[in-house]
Amino acid sequence: MMDLKCEHAVIDVVSSLGTEQNVTQHVTKHNLDAEGVRARYSSRNKEQHDIILSDTLVVETLEELHENGEDAISLDPQTLQFARDEYDFLFVDYYASWCSHCKELAPTWEVLAEAMTEAAEDKVDQLFEHQEKEYDYTDQEYQDALKVEMPVMVAKIDCVQHKDLCTEDQIWAYPTLRLFVNGEPVSEYHGDRTVLEMIHWLGKQEEEHKKDLDDDDVEHKVAAADEVARDILSVEETREEMVKKPEREKHHKSTEQEQWAEKMKTHWRRERALDWKDSDHPGCQLSGFLWIDRVPGHFHIQARSPVHDIAAHMTNVSHEVHHLSIGTPRLAETITRQRNTLDIPKDFESTLSPIDGNVYVNHNEHESFHHYLKVVTTEFSDINDGKSSRYTPDKLVAYQILSSSQLSFYRSDVVPSAKFSYDPSPIAVHYRGSSKKHWYDYITSLMAIVGGMFTIVGMLENTIYAATSKKRF
C-alpha cells in the first residue's frame, strides 16, 4: 500500500458462505515512508494498537465544562494562521462533528485546555503580585501576558465546516492531534488520550525544542500545567512514571515506491496546487497468507481504525502487487523442475500469479482498483520432484488465475478499499506425466502383439480340434 499507514491498513476476508473475518494471524506489516524506506522492525503487532480513547477521570460533560467559558478555542483558516504566528506551541484537534471518537475526546480536550489556561493565569498573577509598583492593568495587557505565559495553546478545528483547510493540512482520520512549534507542524500525537498523558508528551516536546537554546534559564512551562492538571483530576502520579519509549529507525529502500512518490508529488502539485510533504504519505507493506473457503468470495485492504474515524476523501489505496497466488507456496518452482516429465504449456507459471509486479495508482478521490480472479484448479499426476527422497507426492494441485482489473468509484461517505474477488471455476484441468519412447520400444511392442496373437490363435485351434474330434473307445 503506497499511501496508507500500517496502523490503518486492515485485511478482511468475506466468502459467499457468510463468513467474514479480520485477518491478523498470518499477516505481517512493514512501515514504509513516502520513498519506500522500510522500518527496521517488522511491525510484529499484527493487531492495531489499543489506546485509551478518553480520560475516565473527566466526569463532567462538555456542556458542563463550557458553563464557565470555552478554553479550547475553535479556529478557522484565518485564526489558525494567527495562532501559529502568535504562540510558540500550538496543539490542534482536527475533528468532525459526526465522528464518535471526536465526541468521546471532547471533554478530555477541554480539560487539557483548561489546565493550560489555569497554569498561564497562575503565572501571570504571580508576576503582577511581585511588581514593585501598583499598577491597574487593562484587560488587553492581561491577555497579552497570558499569551506569553501560555505553556501550549490548545485549539480545535471542525473539518466539516472547514473541509478545504483540513484537506490542505493532510488530515486523513479524525481526531488528528497535531502540534505546531513556532508556526510549523512538527508531530502528531498517537498515545493514550488522557489529560496527563498528553501533557507529559507535550512536556517532552517542549524539552526537545528548547534544549538547543543558549539561555541557561530557559523555563519549561508545561511542567506547571502538569501540576494544575493533577490538581484538577486529583492524581498523584509523577511524570517520570509515564514516559514513553522513542520511535525506532528505519531502513531498506524500494525503488518502485520512490518512483511512485515522485509521480504523485507532480500530480498533487498540478491538480491541487498543494505542497507535497513526504512525512504525510507513509506506506505499508503487507506480507503473509490467508485461509479462504473453496467458494466465491473476496478479500479487501482498507483503512480502518478502532481509535479514529477515517476521512473517506483523504484515503488513497493505491497499491503495488509484488506477489499474489493461490495454493502451495513456491509451487511455480516445483512445476518448473518437472518440465521434462510433464507436458506443460510454455508460460504456465505466469498464469499462477498474473498480476505480480503491477502497479495500480488512484489519481482522484473516492476511487479504487478492484481485481477479479477466476481460479481454475489444475492437477498434475505422476509428479517426481527430484528433491524429496522420503516423500514424493503422487498428485500436485495448482490454481491458474484469469485476472481482470477495473477502476471502481465510491460514494463520498464510503472509505475506498483495494478489493480482490476470487471465483473458483467449475472446470478443472488435469495433466498426466508421460515419458518419451524410443524406436525399439515400438518394435518390442509390435513383436509382443504378434506373439500374443499367435499364441491366442494356437489356443483357439487346439480348443476347436478337441471339441470336434470323435472320442474312441
Q: Is residue 452 in a domain?
A: no
Residue range 312-361, pLDDT digits in tens: 888 889 999 999 999 887 777 777 776 666 667 778 888 899 999 898 98
Q: Is residue 448 in a domain?
A: no
Residue range 408-458, pLDDT digits in tens: 999 988 999 999 999 999 989 887 765 666 777 778 888 888 888 888 888
Higher confidence at residue 377 or residue 125? 377
The mean per-residue pLDDT over the stretch 352-372 comes to 90
Instruction: Indicate whether 242 and 391 sit together in one domain.
Output: no
Q: What predicted TM-score, i.e. pTM, was given to this entire model?
A: 0.60
- pLDDT above 70 for 185: yes
Q: Mean pLDDT of all residues in the chain? A: 80
CB half-sphere exposure, 307, CA atoms < 13 A? 17
Q: Looking at residue 279, what is its pLDDT? A: 65
Q: Which residues contact 196 (CB under 8 A, 6 or more apart)?
A: 55, 226, 229, 230, 233, 235, 237, 242
Instruction: Indicate whether 364 and 385 sit together in one domain.
Output: yes
Q: Which residues contact 11 (CB under 8 A, 6 or more apart)?
A: 22, 23, 24, 27, 286, 290, 299, 300, 301
% of the chain exceeding 90 in pLDDT: 30
Instruction: Indicate whether 196 and 339 sit together in one domain.
Output: no
Instruction: Indicate whether 280 and 411 sit together in one domain.
Output: yes
Checking phi first, is residue 330 left (phi over 0); if not, alpha (psi -120 to 50) or beta? left
- pLDDT above 90 for 181: yes
Instruction: Indicate whether 151 and 77 sit together in one domain.
Output: yes
Q: Is residue 5 in a domain?
A: no
Q: Looking at residue 264, what is its pLDDT? A: 56
Provide the domain limits for residue 361: 251-432
Question: What is the C-alpha end-to-end distance of the chain, expressed in Å?
Answer: 101
Instruction: Indicate whether 150 and 295 sit together in one domain.
Output: no
Q: Is residue 459 in a domain?
A: no
Instruction: Indicate whether 240 and 255 sit together in one domain.
Output: no
Higher confidence at residue 177 or residue 220? 177
Instruction: Indicate whether 242 and 354 sit together in one domain.
Output: no
Q: Looking at residue 416, what is its pLDDT? A: 92
CATH number, domain of 76, equals: 3.40.30.10
Q: Is residue 449 in a domain?
A: no
∠ Cα 54 60 61 (to 5°): 80
The mean per-residue pLDDT over the stretch 123-143 comes to 69
Q: Is residue 30 in a domain?
A: no
Higher confidence at residue 468 or residue 324? 324
Q: Is residue 25 in a domain?
A: no
Q: Which of 247, 275, 304 is the last residue of a domain?
A: 247
**235-255: b (≥16 Cβ within 10 Å) or e:** eeeebeeeeeeeeeeeeeebe
Grade residue 243 by pLDDT with cuts at 50, 70 and 90: very low
The mean per-residue pLDDT over the stretch 239-263 comes to 47
How far is residue 29's CA from residue 41's CA, in Å, rounded to a whole number?
10
Q: Is residue 274 in a domain?
A: yes
Q: How many CB atoms lie within 10 A of CB 368?
A: 23
- pLDDT above 90 for 393: no
Instruction: Indicate whether 272 and 418 sit together in one domain.
Output: yes
Q: Which of 415, 432, 449 is the last residue of a domain?
A: 432
∠ Cα 307 106 140 (to 5°): 140
Instruction: Indicate whether 414 and 267 sit together in one domain.
Output: yes
- pLDDT above 80 for 72: yes
Instruction: Indicate whether 201 and 309 sit together in one domain.
Output: no
Residue range 34-50, pLDDT digits in tens: 666 666 554 444 455 56
Q: How many domains does the chain have?
A: 2
For helices 222-233 and 195-210, give the axis angle rounded to 10 degrees. 170
Instruction: Indicate whether 234 and 304 sit together in one domain.
Output: no
